[in-house]
Copies of this chain bind each other. A is one copy, B any other.
Amino acid sequence: MAESSFFTDMLQSITDRGRQLLFSGSRSPQVATEVDLRTLCEMLLSSRGEASGMALAAEILERWSALSSDDTQSFLHMLYENFGPDETQLDAAIDHYRMEKSSAAVTSLHRAAEPRRQELLRRLNYAPNGTAKLVQMRQRLLATKAKTAEYEALDADFVHLFGSWFNRGFLTLRPIDWTTPAYILEKIIQYEAVHEIAGWDELRRRLAPADRRCFAFFHPRLADEPLVFVEVALTQSVPGAIKNVLDEGREQIAADEATTAVFYSISNCQDGLRGISFGNFLIKQVVEDLRKDLTGLRNFVTLSPVPGFARWLAQARAGTVNPLLSDAAQETLLLLDDPNWVKSESNRTEVERVLMPLAARYFLTERTAENRPVDPVARFHLGNGARLEKLNFLGDRSPKAMKQAHGLMVNYLYKLDDIVANHEAMAQRGEVIASPSVKNLLNETDESRRAGNGNQGSRAFAQIKNSALGGGRQ
Contact = CB atoms under 8 A, between A and B. Distances in A.
Interface of A: 1, 4, 7, 9-11, 13-14, 17, 20-22, 24-25, 47-48, 50-54, 80, 84-85, 87, 90, 94, 97-98, 101-104, 106-107, 109-111, 113-115, 122, 125-127, 130-131, 149-150, 152-153, 156, 161, 163-165, 167-170, 172-173, 178-183, 185-186, 199-200, 204, 207-208, 220-221, 280-281, 284-285, 288-289, 291-292, 383-385, 416-417, 419-424, 427-428
Given A200-B199, A385-B51, A423-B50, A172 B7 contact: yes
Contact of A94 (B94, B111, B152, B292): B94
Given A182-B182, A182-B185, A419-B51, A107 B9 contact: no
A383 B48 CA distance: 11
B21 A417 contact: yes
A122 B164 contact: yes
A403 to B, nearest CB: 29
Contacts of A11: 285
A425 B425 CA distance: 62
Contact of A13 (B80, B130, B179, B292): B292
Contact of A115 (B110, B164, B179, B200): B110
B80 A10 contact: no
B127 A169 contact: yes
Nearest to A134: B169
A77 B194 CA distance: 49
A10 B292 contact: yes
Given A416-B21, A420-B22, A14 B288 contact: yes
What's the dominant secondary structure at chain A's contact region? helix
Contacts of A179: 1, 181-183
A253 to B, nearest CB: 19
Contacts of A170: 125, 165, 170, 220-221
A18 to B, nearest CB: 8
A122 B163 contact: yes
Nearest to A152: B104
Contacts of A169: 125-127, 130-131, 221
A427 B50 contact: yes
Contact of A113 (B10, B53, B109, B291): B109
A101 B87 contact: yes
Contact of A424 (B47, B122, B131): B47
17 contacts: A47-B423, A51-B423, A51-B424, A84-B106, A85-B106, A85-B110, A106-B113, A107-B156, A110-B115, A122-B163, A122-B164, A126-B169, A165-B165, A169-B221, A172-B220, A183-B208, A199-B199
